[in-house]
Copies of this chain bind each other. A is one copy, B any other.
Amino acid sequence: MHKLSLLVDLYELTMSQAYLRYKRDSLATFDLFVRELPKARSYLIAAGLEDILGYIRGLRFNPADLAYLKSKKMFSGEFLAYLSRFKFRGDIWAVPEGTVVFANEPLIRVTAPIIQAQIIESFFLNTINLQTMIASKASRVAVAAGNRGVFDFSLRRTHGSEAGLKVARSAYIGGFDGTATVLAGRLYRIPIVGTMAHSFIMSFKSELDSFLAYADTFPGRTTLLVDTYAVRPGIENAVTIGLYLKKKGYRLQGIRLDSGDIVALSKLARRMLDKAGLGYVKIFASGNLDEFRIARLLDAGAAVDSFGVGTNMGTSIDAPCLDVIYKIAEVTDEEGNFLPTMKLSQGKVTYPGRKQIFRVEDKKGRFVRDILGLEKENIKGRPLLINVVKKGRVVYKPPPIGKIRSGLKHNLCRFPAQLFKVDPGFRYPVFISPQLKKMRQLLVNELRKRQ
């Protein structure tokens, strides 16, 4: 992987060259937020801030970057010299990773010289889009699974290597219990899990031979995949191995069902295992699972103890992107005063000014509504955006990932239960504050007049 300073849309750089000429000293505030939630999402879980902070720390243009830009013959010497000295010097406010957020609420707010605020746009959107999308999808899956285990099996279908790692991390934040991706386990210190593949079984003369070989290699941690040929004989073979291990003083950890009618097969497996005195053997299900399917399986009484969830979570298959945008909300005039600004394009209206999210709770500590207001407004409610970068210096130390994950779990309980229905429809109330409403209306009138 390469240094990511040039991971930027070309127009950020061309605009910046024009800014350098006309707006060298302008400051601007940008909001990064999701305009509309995907259909099957009632809430989002913010994720990606750690990478944002790492990017800000390392954002420099090296000689190879500059040589490439120069070769394009579109940038001025003045601009290239500016880039060679580039360092981000602005302020960034953000909601911590693992925060529940809703449509129109800024996940990140940047106030900086306009060039600097502009150049970081592509990376910010890219990072928050992936990680927030995945943490949000994973949270739904984890909620649907209740207190059963859920594990990330998605590496083979995530959008590349980096996505595989970030999916494992974001899913863990969202409530998953671990991942099959070894490197993610190492980098983020999250639990890793693994069973066996069909190929292992098929490489032996018989299923039983393969089960025996695995059990002898990992007597204390064997989960047997029972559907390579036919499931009932597969479970019978697993029972044989379970009894074999028992005799040697070990416990067969589990069996895995990866195809077929999971409800019926899991009940069958449970009965067969119990009858053989193997009540402690867990039943693990995988294969095309998501929150909808898990909810249906559990409603139908599937005897499943934990789930391996792959592609559908790792690609957020029903909503493989968020409507995440980065919009200018204010900019300084010649005297250095901040003036609110906004867009009027059809169906794409934004909110002006420097904003804050206020989360309001009742006396019992239950969250009842959010208010999107102006930063300086006097609103009762906990402000969610905190200062993470001050004059270019990172001033926020993220908690360890386990804390992020458990903090989220704790906070989820404080929201209305309707938020977590598998079929969403409930919209958590997010109000616009009176002052923000007023500012917006004045600005709409003014912009319409100017046109």
A interface vs B, CB < 8 Å? 1-2, 4, 6-15, 17-19, 21-23, 26, 28, 30, 64-65, 68-69, 72, 74, 114, 118, 121-123, 125-127, 129-130, 153, 155-166, 180-183, 185-187, 192-200, 202-204, 206, 213-214, 216-218, 221, 227-230, 233, 258-260, 311, 315-317, 320-322, 324, 326-328, 331, 341-348, 447, 450-451
Per the bound structure, the CA–CA distance linking A259 and B343 in Å amounts to 12
Residue of B nearest to A65 (CB): B186
Q: List 14 A-B contacts (CB under 8 A).
A: A6-B182, A7-B155, A8-B181, A12-B194, A13-B182, A22-B217, A64-B186, A65-B186, A68-B185, A158-B159, A161-B162, A199-B327, A203-B341, A260-B346
Residues of B within 8 A of A233 (CB): 451
Contact B72 A7 (CB under 8 A): no
Residues of B within 8 A of A8 (CB): 155, 181-183
Contact A23 B125 (CB under 8 A): no
Q: A199-B327, A199-B328 are in contact. List 15 more A-B contacts (CB 8 A).
A: A1-B2, A9-B182, A10-B181, A10-B193, A14-B214, A23-B203, A28-B199, A68-B182, A114-B203, A118-B200, A122-B155, A202-B342, A259-B346, A316-B320, A317-B320
Residues of B within 8 A of A213 (CB): 18, 21-22
Per the bound structure, the CA–CA distance linking A11 and B450 in Å amounts to 64
Most buried by B among A156, A213, A451: A156
Contact A125 B157 (CB under 8 A): yes
Contact A9 B259 (CB under 8 A): no
Contact A181 B7 (CB under 8 A): yes
Within the complex, the shortest CB–CB distance from A401 to chain B, in Å, comes to 16
Per the bound structure, the CA–CA distance linking A197 and B350 in Å amounts to 15
Contact A203 B451 (CB under 8 A): no
Per the bound structure, the CA–CA distance linking A315 and B342 in Å amounts to 28
Most buried by B among A126, A213, A230, A348: A126
Select A2's contact among B6, B15, B23, B183, beta carbons within 8 Å: B183
